Each structure stands twice: as structure tokens, then as C-alpha cells.
Amino acid sequence: MNVFIKDSYKGAATNQDGYYVITDIPKGEYEVIASIIGFKMVTQKVTLGESENIRLDFRLNAAVLAGEEVNVSAERIKFQKMVEPSRVTLGMREINAAPAFIEADLFRTIQLLPGVQTLNDFSSALYVRGSTPDQNLILLDGITIYNPYHIGGLFSTFNTDAIKEANFHAGGFPARYGGRMGAILNVISKEGNTEKFEGKTNISLLSAKGVIEGPLPKWKNMKGSWMLAGRKTYFDTFFNLMLKIGGENEFKFPYYFYDYQGKINLDFGDNHRLTYSRFFGDDVLSNKWEDSGDEYFSDSREAKGKFDWRWGNHTNSLTWRWIANPNLILKTFLASSRFRFHIDINNESWYAIEEAGEIFKSYDGYFFDVYDVVSDQSLETELTWIVSDAHTITTGAQIKNVNFDLGMEFKVATFDTTISTKPLEMKSKTGEQSIYFQDRWQMSNKISTQIGGRLSRYSLHDKINIEPRLGLKYFVRDDVAIKLNWGRYYQYLTIANPQDESFRFIDIWMGIPKEYKAPSSDHFILGLEYISDTDIIYRIEVYYKSFDHLLTLKEGSPFEENDQLRFNPINEFYDTDAVASGLEILIKKTTGKYKGWIGYTFAKTEWYTKTDGWYPPKYDRTHTINVVGDWQWTQAIHASTAISFSSGNPFTPILGRYETWQETGRGWWQQSKFLVGEKNSGRYPAYFRWDVGLTKSFKSSWFGPGEYYFQFMNVTNHINNLFYIYQTNNDLLSNNHGKVQRKAFPMFPLLFTFGVRYDF
């Protein structure tokens, strides 16, 4: 939210807690305006005495159309005050602006911003300026989220109806953020209504979700608010009901997900606030089976088994904010975050065979157990000192302890024998300690700087790393500014996932082993910004990022000679270097009847290993154009559209096939192998998708105001390649007999979805 004095550009943007300070105001009478896009502006008259401090609290109500004049002033304040480059703040209106796959999704909206690449339609993971998703710091109310996806990455974890705003830093982020070297996404959930009880429901083809909020009972000098949100898919219930109606009782749809989050704010007077935040979410893929009898033999047989796979996040945090005086704010934050996945597979069979009048009983079973648990406990404290209108100093300390427990166990059993093996068992405990300092210095009307840095230590290396940060903003004139940023970033954890996977259901997290150096990255960013008289933002940025000591998982065939099954140790990595560079253009309009943005990205990313040399990673896209539009057609109807075009992703081509003979313990075997080209030397055809959405609001006598929404994905039904399937032509009559042929596996076809939202 932006708060400013009418008929002047003197004001401030609130921080994530809603706190703001406007300094150096002479005594007199003023009108103070609070505004945010998508809400009605609020004005308060105030008389200020000499050296007097006045506290003004604002509460804004949602509006269908925001006032043009107020938003122009608010956007200009943000343009003048913000030094950081590559930062975008998204509110509910902007998150919902783009047409969505089944329901609005924060990550899908961010994917339409410049500098953000996507792997494919089935993934909502963020590849930002050459960085991989594990290099992004994803925060919910300050708590680290390790696997922010549902349905294997198809949707993000966040319930958009519970979001107040999301701050996205594509690079050059300030000193308070550490432990990652890609991008920062800080999601702030709703505070809760302090005045009255209210709620919202949303029913789509995939899920039902809802949010309720209201005030806490007032007692003495204590008051507060609360918010509770939940979501669950019901496609499994619907699908199973249809099967039951059709007479099918055996098969059950095996998947669903759910999540819920809550937040409580408790104010002790005007200066102390306690905030408790919680999130819990799980994906469940589970199926059981039983079988008895044998259709070919009279001998008795029984079998049963199960497949149970669960993964999800569980977070808790407690924050104490103390406003020591209007210019001095202390915040202490205690949080725990746990991500885990667990795959449990077993199959057991019993046989009773009769031979020559005797009954022989047999039993066999196999059991497979894989798990990964990441447990994070963090303590942070931060002090913000608004020294004057020219200086704002922020300093703090962070302590983070992370436990990793990764394992795999196989067990095979008979009546009299049990064989058990653990090919993978890794437990580690890591710690990170850091302190940081930053000064936002308004040197003159023309120049603003943001100077800071971090000192960080990783327990397995026992070394202090220095992470300097420098930002500079120069105003060529009141509406044109140049930004320059440089910073160094270290990361102390990684994922052990195959680099060429097309689908990613879970992330396998681990701390950087002590025998490897900590990955690091340097960011260089140069930008030019212009704000027009009609409040349209024009931004051009060029960037260069270098990466040192990335860890890339070694991949190989699961079989070695003599057909002996082997497992690559999950901590065998290539020491990888990388560079990323690019140019980004953003034109963004946030007010008026027509809103949206146009983004263009030219990007180049290359990795280097001793085995493959320099090559582009699978997510690299050279050119990307995104157009997002939101049109308020009438007071009740608005339409939205999103058009995406990009160069094709790279892949490693198959050039042919050859035959080999291999001697094993069972004789000689003929093997067919593919002859592959250079690593990622091919490119898929260009990607194109056009989505359209339509929303119509209405009034309900039962609940309250609501709206229907209709979404059309890929309206042109353009075929975009996910990957190629290679096979040998075995048709003896074909001219291509024996040759390798490939077929494309497509992404999303034309899809239609609809839903309804209610407020009450």
C-alpha cells in the first residue's frame, strides 16, 4: 500500500507488515491518502504540530475499478522510492488478471514476467535468469517453502484467495535475503479483517477452496484479527462416484491434494504485535489391491499390496514486532519448516499347491521404501532504523539449522528367508549463520543508493563468506531513472534431481557436502525506467550472471556389464560452472479500463562440465514474448488474455542406432543402442499459446456478491512439443525399415474450464 500527502509526492510505501513512516513534515493541516490498486482510496485529514508524531491507521475496501488519479500518484511514489532493480509486486488483481489453467495460480502469473522461463506446460517451476528452481528462495510469511508445488509441479502450493501480495525479485535482491542465488519470492498472506467477519469461496473443476477472516475479541488494550484458508481437490471423489454409478467398484482414482493455512495477529497496544502463521499441505497418491484365486489353475492363491506416496510442507512461525519509536522497529522471527516425501510399496503373495497328495505352501513378498525429510528451524532478528528522510538502515542476524534424512530400503522375503538392503542412507545436519547490514541512502534529489552486505558461515565448511551488495539509482529527470546493481550470493543446499527430467514430482534436497565448494553467483544489472504521465511503467534491463561450483547430478545407465544392477550414489556430482546474460523489456499499465503488461526477454544460458563442455541447459529459451491484458468491459464483465511465444527448448538429438554384442553369465546377447549427438545441440520448434478468460459478476440472495469465470487454454490448439519418442521402424515392407524414427509428445491441447466465486 502507498501512503502519501495530497498535492505532493511526499509519502511512503508500507512494508510487508503494513507499517510506514513519512518524515520531515512541517507543521500544518494535510490530507493523507492511502491507496493500493484494486481498492478504494481512503483519505484522512490531520493537523500536525511542531515536532509532533501522529499515528494514522487505514483500512481499504476492495473496488471493482480503482480511482485513476490516486493510483497515478501512488505509482509515482513507488517509482521514486524503490532502488532495487528487477522487482515486481503482485496483488490479487494482477495475480487473477491472467487466464489460468483451472484456477488462478501465482507461479503461472510470474511465468509471464520478463526474465522468467518455463520448462513446459506441465511445470509451474520458475527458471529465473539462468537459475534453476532450487536456487529460488520461496517464502510464505517469511517461512522457507522447500517444495512449493502440487500435482508434481502443475500447480503452486499457494492458495491465491489467501494472498495479500507477492514480492518477486528476479535478481539483485537486498542484503536481508540470503542462502539462495537465483530469485526471491516473498508471499504475504492476508492479515484478517479487523472490523467484521467475512469469507470467500471458490469452486472450480479441480478443487474447492475458501477463506474466512474476522476480528479477535477485544480485551483491555489487546485487539487483533485472524484468517483461515483451505483447499482440497475433489476430482477423485467425483471420478469414483461416476465409476460407482457405472457399476465399476474395483478401481479408485488414486490422487488428491489438500492444504490449509492460518494467520493470527494480536496487538498489545499500538507498539507490540505478535503474529502466528501456519501452513500445512499434502499430496497423496495411494492405491491398494487384493487378489485371490487363479483363473487357470485350481490351486489357491492370495495376493495383496499397496502403493502409498505422500509429500508436502508443514510450517509454523511466530513473529514479534516492536515499534520502539516511530523511526525504530525491531522484529524477531522464529520459524520451523518441514518438507517430506515418503514412498511405501509392498506386494505379498501366498500359494498353496497340491502335488501327489501333498500340499506345498509358498510365500514371497517384496517391500520398497524411499523417503526424504528436510527439517528447517530458523531464528531471525531485524532492526530497521529510519534515521532521516535520507537514511534508512536495516541490520539483522539469522540462524538456520537444517536436518536432511534421505534413504532407500529394499526387502525381499520368503517363508524362511528375508534379504534386506539399504542402497541409500544419508543423514546430515547443517547450519547457517549470517549477519547483514544495509543503508538506503538518498544522497540527493538525483541519486539514491542501497549499500549493504552479508557475512555468512556454513557449518560443513567452517568458512565465512562475504556477500557485498550495491544498488544505485540516478534520476535523469523526474520521470526517468537509471539503475545499477551488483551483488554476490552463496547457496548452501542443492537438489539431487536429474538435470534432463521433463517432469518433476518432488525435489530431493541435500546440504552441500563438505568435500564440495559452496555454489556462488555474481549478479550485474543495468536498467532504465520511465513512468509516463498516465502512469505506464517502461523498463529495460540487461543482466549478466556468473555461477561457480554448481552441483549437477551425474546420470548414467542403471546397468553395468554382466547385467549387475548398480545405483549411482546420489552425492556424485559434476562440478559445473555457468553463465547467463540477457535483455528484458517490460511495459506495464496498472490503472484504467485496460490493464496488463507486455514483456520481452532475450536470454542465453550455458553450463560447463569437463564431460560435455559448454552447452545450454534444457530450460534455455532465447526469445520470449508475453502479453497479458485485462479489459473491464462493463461494470459486471471483464475479459483477460495471455499470449506467450518463445524459442524452443534444447534437447539432445538421436542421430541413429547401432548393434553391439555383450557377453554375460548366460551367453552372448545382442543389444541395440542409440547414437546421440552433442549435449542439447538440438532445439524443439517454437512455443506458442494463447489463453482467454471471461469473468461475470453477479449478486446472490443466499451468500453475497460473486462471479462466474470461464477459461480457454491454448485457444488455437497449437501443438507444442514436450519431448520426442524414438523407435525403430520394424515394418519389413517400409522403405524406412530398420531406421530410427521420432514422434513428438505434445503439451496442453485446447482446454476449457469454469468456476464460481462467492463472497459472504
DSSP string, 691-735: EEEEEEEEE-SSS-EEEEEEEEESTT----EEEEEEEE---TTST
- Dihedrals phi, psi of 563, to nearest 5 degrees: 60, 25
Within the chain, how many helices (H) and strands (E) appear?
A: 4, 44
Task: List, for residues 39-73, the tens digit of each pLDDT value.
Answer: 667 888 887 777 777 777 777 666 544 444 444 45
Please report, for the chain, the start and end positions of each structural domain, with discontinuous segments joined by +.
2-81, 87-649+684-759
Give the span between the Cα atoms of 101 and 84, in whole angstroms: 32
Cell for 108? 503461472
| CB-count exposure of residue 248 (10 Å: 0-12, 13-18, 19+) | exposed
CA atoms within 13 A on the CB side of 357: 0
What's domain 2-81's architecture? Sandwich (2.60)
Q: For cell 500435482, what's the residue?
A: 151
| CB-count exposure of residue 30 (10 Å: 0-12, 13-18, 19+) | buried
Alpha-carbon radius of gyration of the chain: 29
In this prediction, residue 247 carries a pLDDT of 66
Q: Among 299-313, 493-507, 746-760, whose mean pLDDT is lowest?
A: 493-507
Task: List, for residues 163-185, the tens digit of each pLDDT value.
Answer: 988 999 999 999 999 999 999 99
- Dihedrals phi, psi of 588, to nearest 5 degrees: -130, 130
Helix (H, G, I), strand (E, B) or coil at 226: strand
Q: Among 13-27, 153-167, 325-339, whose mean pLDDT is lowest?
A: 13-27
- The three-point CA angle 264-267-273 to 5° equals 80
Cell for 59? 483500512
What's domain 87-649+684-759's architecture? Beta Barrel (2.40)
pLDDT at position 639 over 80: yes
Higher pLDDT, 469 or 38: 469
Give the span between the Cα atoms of 511 and 406, in whole angstroms: 11
* Residue 200, C-beta contacts closer than 8 angstroms, at least 6 positions apart: 161, 210, 211, 757, 758, 759, 760
Please give the torsion angle defined by the CA atoms of residues 112, 118, 120 and 125, in that order, rounded to the nearest 10 degrees. Answer: -100
Terminal alpha carbon distance of the chain: 24
Give the span between the Cα atoms of 690 and 644, in whole angstroms: 6
Which residue type does 558 have?
P
Per-residue pLDDT band at 360 (split at 50, 70, 90): low
In this prediction, residue 670 carries a pLDDT of 67
362 forms bridges with which residues in the sheet? 351
284 forms bridges with which residues in the sheet? 256, 310
pLDDT at position 344 over 80: yes
* Residue 634, C-beta contacts closer than 8 angstroms, at least 6 positions apart: none
Give the span between the Cα atoms of 757 and 450, in whole angstroms: 43
Task: List, for residues 177-213, the tens digit of each pLDDT value.
Answer: 999 999 999 999 998 988 899 999 998 888 899 999 9
Report the Cα 431 to chain-centroid distance in Å: 24
pLDDT at position 375 over 80: yes
Q: If residue 590 lies in a helix (H) or strand (E), which one and from where to where?
A: none
Q: Are 408 and 367 in contact (CB under 8 A)?
A: no
Give the span between the Cα atoms of 66 and 315, in whole angstroms: 35
* Residue 224, C-beta contacts closer than 8 angstroms, at least 6 positions apart: 192, 194, 215, 216, 264, 265, 266, 267
Task: List, for residues 413-472, the tens digit of each pLDDT value.
Answer: 887 788 888 877 888 899 999 999 999 999 998 999 999 999 999 999 988 999 999 999
* Residue 70: DSSP 8-state: H
Higher pLDDT, 434 or 355: 434
Q: Are 166 and 185 in contact (CB under 8 A)?
A: yes
The helix, strand and coil proportions of the chain, stated in percent and rounded to the nearest 5, come to 5, 60, 35
Cell for 749? 491441447
623-632 vs 637-646, strand pairing mode: antiparallel
Per-residue pLDDT band at 296 (split at 50, 70, 90): very low
CA atoms within 13 A on the CB side of 113: 25
Closest of 570, 610, 554 to residue 424, by C-alpha: 570
Q: For cell 498489545, what's the residue?
A: 268
In this prediction, residue 249 carries a pLDDT of 63
Average pLDDT over residues 217-221: 88
Cell for 398? 539469522
The predicted model scores a pTM of 0.87
Q: Are 21 and 54 in contact (CB under 8 A)?
A: no
Q: For cell 501366498, what's the residue?
A: 350
Per-residue pLDDT band at 357 (split at 50, 70, 90): low
Task: List, for residues 245-283, the tens digit of each pLDDT value.
Answer: 766 666 678 889 999 999 999 999 889 999 999 999 999
Q: Are 507 and 498 in contact (CB under 8 A)?
A: no
Q: Are 339 and 295 in contact (CB under 8 A)?
A: no
Cell for 725? 519418442
Closest of 22, 3, 60, 64 to residue 695, by C-alpha: 64
In this prediction, residue 562 carries a pLDDT of 40
pLDDT at position 352 over 90: no
Q: Are 165 and 139 in contact (CB under 8 A)?
A: no
